[in-house]
Each structure stands twice: as C-alpha cells, then as structure tokens.
Amino acid sequence: MTENLVIVESPAKAKTIEKYLGKDFRVVSSFGHIRDLAKKNLGIDIKNNFSPEYEIPKEKAKVVAELRKAAAESKNVWIASDEDREGEAIAWHLVSVLKLNLPTTKRIVFHEITQDALAKAILNPRQVDMNLVNSQQARRILDRIVGFEISPVLWKKVQPALSAGRVQSVAVRLIVEREREIIAFKPESSFRINGIFRTDPDNTENNLIRAEAGKRFSDENDAARFLDVCSNSEFRVAGISVKPGTRSPAPPFTTSTLQQEAYRKLGFSVSQTMTVAQKLYEAGKITYMRTDSTNLSKLALAKSREVILSEFGEKYSRTRQFKTKSKGAQEAHEAIRPAYLNSFTITGSQNEKKLYELIWKRTIAS
C-alpha cells in the first residue's frame, strides 16, 4: 500500500512535484476537471434553487477509475490542485467522486514548485475551501445558463456556430454602445498655435525654445489675428524653474500586466502568454501565474537584494514593497516572479526563455 498519494491537475506538474517529494509520495494527475454539468436539461435544477447536476464525461471515465484505485491503495490522500476557484472546485470534485472524507482530506497549496514551498505545504494542510468552490459553481452555472439560452438566438439572428458567454456578451454590449457614441459624435475643428523662439542668431537646436499657446481658437480668422500680433511682438523668458525628476519602477507582474507586457514587447497573444507561463510554473521556474497581487514575500525580496548587490552593486539596491490597489486583491498571494531569482536564464523553448527573461527583469527592477 502506498503511504501518500498526491493528486494534482496537470501531468507536467505531477512529474516536477514527484522529484521533490521523494519515494514516500506517489503523485498522479486528474488531467483537469473530472466532472462537469450534465448536458441534459442544462445540468441545472432551476426550480430547486439552481442546484447543479454533475456527471463524469465519458473521456474521463478511465482517469477516474485509475484515481479511485490509487486512492483505495493509499493511506493518505493529499489534493494539490491550484489555489484558485477552479483548482478548489477540482479538489472538491475529487473528494466527492473518490468518496473521501471532506473534513479530513488533506488539501495543500503552494505558489511555487520548489523544495521549500512543498515542504511548507505538507506541514500546513487545510480543508477544501467551500467558499471558493461555491464561487466556481456559481460562475459555471451562469456560464451554462447564458450560453445555452442566448447562443441559439445568435444562430437564428446572426449566423450559425456563434456562442454567447457570461462575459463576452456584456463586453459586446459595451463595445456596441461605445461605437454608437463614436458614430453620433460631431467633430469640431480648432486651431492650435505653436511657437519656436531663437535665443540668439545661431539657429541651432540648443538655442531654440518651443512653446504652445494656452488657448485654442475655434475661428480661423481669430487665430490669424493672434499670429499677426505675435509676429510684431518681443518675448522674454520670465523665469526658469528646475525640478528633480523621479521615475519609479513598475510593480511586479500580475496576470493582466504580464499579458499586456508580453503582447507589447514579445507580440504574444493572451492565450499564448498563459500557455507559456503555465509551462514555466509546472516546470518549477516561476510562481503561480494567476494572481492579482503585486506583493512579494520577504524571502523573495531578500533574494532579489542579494542578486542586485552581487550583479549591480549597492547603488542600485533599494527594497520596495508594493501593495495592490485593486479592491478584493489577495495579498496573501504573490506576484508572478521567478522561483529562483539567481537563475538568470533557463532551459526550454525560445518562447519560454523570452517570457522568463521578461518576468526576471521586471522582478529585479521592481
């Protein structure tokens, strides 16, 4: 009989974790969700407080059978799916399908796949968080109701094979409203006046001062009269003020800022960025890539300082602790960062190397 069985949702993640945990642990994968809403009658009992009705898809039957067998042959079952609502729902479905005891089943979470993070998780198991599970169930039910009810309307009114969704339907509404505002907008012309002044007869770039009039003119004749006045006038510099400029680094990456920067600098689409980041996370090279926090742990800050002192010197070392401004952000989670900050480069595909370098530079700069 196996002493410890650890269930994760990804086979790549399972291989990485098993290397760290050792021979007393067997790590297997659920290959994502093992249950979904039934296809019949929306899979939702609307009259009974929108209760979901789940079924195991045919393609998951073999995986579920293998997991049941592995769980029956193990003394301890640990569920290590991701610490977001999808991961929590996977954990809850595993407990239900494998007939595990919910209060005693060991649920472990970690933000990076490293020896220290896994050891800490094993020492601090918790129960399945039903608040996160219910959040995921509500989202899934809404997806099903909106998609199944509105998509047929699109097929009839627009074209076949289109789909409506809980988020995209609202987004399309916002886009349409904005487009109507643009169409209804009536542009008004105005005239802007810019001046170039010489400080001495030498017409060099260093002797030129550029300025813009603080007022714009709606009438061309008014603008012309103003120019006539200016052409016969003398101007002088009333005063010069010199102020120091400061430029702060951008905070560490959240999911959304990583997607934006990867598109801007690397040309990656959102889905491409998340696919590459998922591979980096499962290989133990970066922390969890779905986060809205800009927070870094004290250990990560200390390691960053060590790298900066070693590579660039004391002059460039200044520890900052960013706080997430968005409401509801989970500060207990970390921003996206390298798992090992002293690893400047990694092995992998070109896209993995590019995205890792982007994350490493942003973390060190912040």
pLDDT of residue 129 exceeding 70: yes
pLDDT (mean) for 21-28: 89
d(CA 63, CA 73): 16
Mean pLDDT of 219-239: 85
Structural domain count of the chain: 3
Does residue 173 belong to any structural domain of this protein?
no
Residues 324 and 292 in one domain: yes
Residue 206 is part of which domain span?
A: 194-231
More confident residue, 322 or 227: 227
Task: Give the angle 352-355-361 at the CA atoms, nearest 5°.
Answer: 135
> Which among 282, 298, 239, 223 is positioned nearest to 17, based on CA atoms?
282
CA dist 186 and 237 (Å) reads 39
Q: What is the mean pLDDT of the chain?
A: 88
361 and 327 share a domain?
yes
pLDDT over 70, % of the chain: 96
For the annotated catalytic residues, the residue numbers are 288
Confidence of residue 55 (pLDDT cuts 50, 70, 90): very high
pLDDT tens, position by position, 78-118 = 999 988 899 999 999 999 999 998 888 899 999 888 888 89
Here the CATH number for the domain that contains residue 353 is 1.10.290.10
Indicate whether 177 belongs to any domain. no
pLDDT, residue 205, reads 67
The confidence score (pLDDT) of residue 165 equals 84
Task: Report yes or no on 178 lying in a domain.
Answer: no
Higher pLDDT, 320 or 287: 287
What pLDDT score does 325 carry? Answer: 65
201 plus 259 within the same structural domain = no
Q: What are phi and psi of 296, to 5 degrees?
A: -120, 145
Write the CATH number for 130. 3.40.50.140
Q: Please give the backbone phi and psi of residue 59, each rounded to the nearest 5 degrees, phi first.
A: -70, -15
Tens of pLDDT, residue by residue over 306-339, are: 888 888 888 888 777 777 666 555 445 789 999 9
329 and 224 together in one domain: no
Examine the domain organization and report whether 131 and 200 are in the same domain.
no
Q: Are residues 212 and 335 in the same domain?
A: no
54 beta partners: 37
pLDDT at residue 135, rounded to an integer = 93
pTM score: 0.74
In a domain, residue 39? The reply is yes
Answer yes or no: is 169 within a domain.
no
Whether residue 45 is found in the same domain as residue 124: yes
pLDDT tens per residue, range 107-128:
999 988 888 889 999 999 999 9
User: How would DSSP label each residue in 235-269?
Assistant: -------------PPPPPB-HHHHHHHHHHHH---
Residue 249 lies in a domain: no
56 within a domain of the structure (yes/no): yes
Tell whether 317 and 356 lie within a shared domain. Answer: yes
Same domain, 67 and 112: yes
Contact 253, 335 (CB under 8 A): yes
pLDDT of amino acid 331: 47
266 and 198 in a common domain? no
Assess whether 7 and 127 both reside in one domain.
Answer: yes
244 within domain boundaries: no
For residue 10, the tally of other CB atoms under 10 A from its CB is 19
